[in-house]
A and B are shown apart, each in its own frame.
Chain A
Amino acid sequence: MRGMMKKILLYFLLLLGYILLYVIDIEEIVYPSEDTKVESKVDFVYQQF
């Protein structure tokens, strides 16, 4: 039961996060006065050569 709840939560967060971050622009809602849009950070902060 606990495992099932965890899975449901995981799928829910993935879906919600995808919609908020990649479908509707959450930054425009949270920071409406911002002129510049923050670029996606789908990158590696720990990346090194």
Chain B
Amino acid sequence: MWFDKVLPFSSPTFFVFMGIVVLLVLISKAFLQKIVPYRILMGLLSLTYIAILFPKPFHIIGLLVYSYYCLLALRKWYKSENIVLPMVLLSLPMLLMKFLSNITFSDTNWWKHTPELFQIAGISYLVFRVIGLYIDERSKPGKINFLDFFNFTSFVPTLLIGPLDRFQRFTTDVKSGYSNITSSLFLQGWNNFLLGLLYKFILAEAIHRLLLSQLVDDGSILYHLSYMYTYLMYLFFDFAGYSLLAISFGNFIGIHVPINFDKPFAAINPKEFWKRWHKSLGEWLNDYFFKPLFKFFTQKKYGTSIQRQNWALFLTFTLMGFWNGFQLHYIVSGMLFGLYSVVHNYYFYQCKKQKKEVFFGHLSEKWIKFLSIFIMFNLVAFAIYIFSGKLF
């Protein structure tokens, strides 16, 4: 191949590629609007990235074709109550990838290379986007042509790790096309771009090189505590920086990519935390898993309302754990976040029932807020520490 394969935002080559993309879109807006429709240009640019820079281009094209035809075939299930089979079929490649990654094949085994077939960068996010599209379409069936589907699922800045967008919102932006590209959105993109660079390539890099990598594992509690807080900061700046870069390139070419982080460490409870940290995933889980699950429990009249809520919450976060990977540390981390949510939900229920602050008593609002932020921050740090896989 002529080019080294690069994942989004992982090398200068990618930034050069995206620079060319932005330039081409701006030139097309200025001179070629009537000749090159925006949605076709977007499709061509995504296809170019996949063909020349994306690792395993044929694999991802295969995955996209499978997902698209699966969506079309599943249309007859729109009126059915059964949503499990369509979800399993749509997420089958991801499930196989996660499952096969945990199996050790012997060298003589003829299918030892099977896991590699499904190890496609971005597969988890792609599958979640497709499931979201399927569930939205169930309530409002419409025509989905392959170009719109391709543009949505393979939008380069968000291809790898989001933010998770919605098909209707994204397609509306694409339909608005060149008219969405304005100087104010471009400027907003530039600010996001600079902040993303600072977060990912300066702060996360500095934390990793100067702090995280220098910690000496002597097995002491102090080491584990240092690792816990340093890793949390590193993860935040790395992931929030990536998200900002993805948002910025969307802004440059007229797409309003949803924000993913909004001062997460100012959250006062788990519910608020997931509206601030990996926001697009939190909203996705709420809309496409928690709500349907709660509705299902309500229809079946399982337990009381608070019990139904708690079970739906716990299962939703457990699913998130499995989605991160089938390794124990991901699953336990997801369950821990589920437990936090259940405890908070029950606490909130009790406060409402007793018409008072059960835990904080008569403390002033300012103190309650301060203590809530402190507790939440430490709980998050612990769950993310488990997520890091450092402990087991």
Contacts and interface: CB of A to CB of B under 8 A. Distances in A.
Nearest to B125: A48
Contacts of A38: 208-209, 213-214
Nearest to B161: A46
Contact of B203 (A17, A43, A44): A17
Given A11-B194, A13-B198, A14-B197, A44 B209 contact: no
Contacts, number: 83
Contacts of B239: 44-46
Given A10-B198, A27-B209, A43-B10, A48 B238 contact: no
B61 interface: no
A49 B198 CA distance: 26
Contacts of A14: 194, 197-198, 202
Which label, helix, strand, loop or mixed, suits the secondary structure of the B interface? helix
A22 to B, nearest CB: 8
B310 interface: no
Given A14-B202, A49-B121, A31 B325 contact: no
B172 to A, nearest CB: 28
A30 interface: yes
Interface string B178-213: 000000000000000011011011111110111001
B7 interface: yes
A42 interface: yes
B205 A48 contact: no
Contacts of A42: 10-11, 200-201, 205
A10 B209 CA distance: 21
Contact of B210 (A27, A40, A47): A27
B380 to A, nearest CB: 15
Interface in A1-49: 10-11, 13-14, 17-18, 20-21, 26-27, 30-31, 38, 40-49
Nearest to A31: B214
Contacts of B194: 10-11, 14
B377 interface: no
B205 to A, nearest CB: 6
A21 B214 contact: no
A48 B213 contact: no
Contacts of B195: 10
A1 to B, nearest CB: 17
A49 B10 contact: no
A13 B201 contact: no
A41 B234 CA distance: 11
Contacts of B324: 48
B210 A17 contact: no
Contacts of A13: 198, 202
Given A30-B210, A31-B214, A38-B209, A45 B234 contact: yes
B204 to A, nearest CB: 7
B257 interface: no
B160 A40 contact: no
Contacts of A18: 202
30 contacts: A10-B198, A13-B202, A14-B198, A17-B201, A17-B202, A20-B206, A21-B205, A26-B209, A26-B210, A30-B210, A31-B214, A38-B209, A42-B10, A42-B200, A44-B9, A44-B161, A44-B242, A45-B238, A45-B239, A46-B161, A46-B242, A47-B161, A48-B124, A48-B161, A49-B97, A49-B98, A49-B101, A49-B118, A49-B120, A49-B122
Interface of B: 7, 9-11, 97-98, 101, 118-124, 160-161, 194-195, 197-198, 200-206, 208-210, 213-214, 234-235, 238-239, 242, 324-325
Interface of A: 10-11, 13-14, 17-18, 20-21, 26-27, 30-31, 38, 40-49
